[in-house]
Amino acid sequence: MKAGVLRVESPGGSSVASSLIHHTTVRMKSETRKPLVVSMARSAASGGYNISCHADRIFADRFTVTGSIGVLMVKPSLEGWYEAHGVRQEDFDRGRSMRGWSVHRDWDAGLQASADSAVYTEYRDFVATVAEGRKLSWEEVDAVAQGRAWMGEDALQHRLVDRIGGLEDAIAEAKRMARIPQDEKIRIAEYRRPAPAWIRRLVGSAVTEMWSQYARLPDPGEPLYWMDEVSIP
């Protein structure tokens, strides 16, 4: 392999998973010294941007949703519902923070402060990672971060991506960076997401069929009608 092209289609998700993928890209670059080019699809935001920011070149489409450099923590609580329905609770905790992720209790002031501190620490680390990868200052990244998402051309203006282009443009750039003559034929080795186990495929097919039945998805080419009754062919 002469160069790598990473195709990213992700609105984000687990910070741990994003960090693992990000560190893999950094290790690939440091150990092989081969160029890495990212091609962003419809979305490469939050964790999707995190895994992209250390590439040698980042390509985004004009309508790619990217950036969204931020951290979100959600902890549901049923304590109010329990009180309204007369459900009693008895707690058996070991350690002051054991109930922190319990859905049965609200956060008290101390746990809320711990959560806020953890979110801010992770946010600062995220901004620092982007700043290192994009060769910007922490303040420059923070100014366009704070969870805001950008379309491709706005992201280019803010230096979050390098070029506007699709997958073929990214492959051509990887070929150029690897010093492969443009007229030389190459074989592209594609590594896709592994196929799920048969039971997951079976369940997935059943869910898709049920969703299509009840959601009434439009057929290909059928006009879409929005709430303002404006149709888009």
What positions carry a catalytic annotation? 46
Phi, psi of 4 (to 5 degrees): -120, 140
Rounded CA separation 66/158 (Å): 11
The pair of three-digit structure tokens given for residue 44, joined into one six-digit string = 């490469």
Rounded CA separation 173/99 (Å): 51
The pair of three-digit structure tokens given for residue 158, joined into one six-digit string = 């803010």
In terms of Cα–Cα distance, which of 97, 94, 47, 98 is closest to 68? 47
Write down the residue that tokens 């997401």 correspond to. 193
Helix, strand, coil percentages, rounded to 5, for the chain: 45, 15, 45
Phi, psi of 15 (to 5 degrees): -70, -30
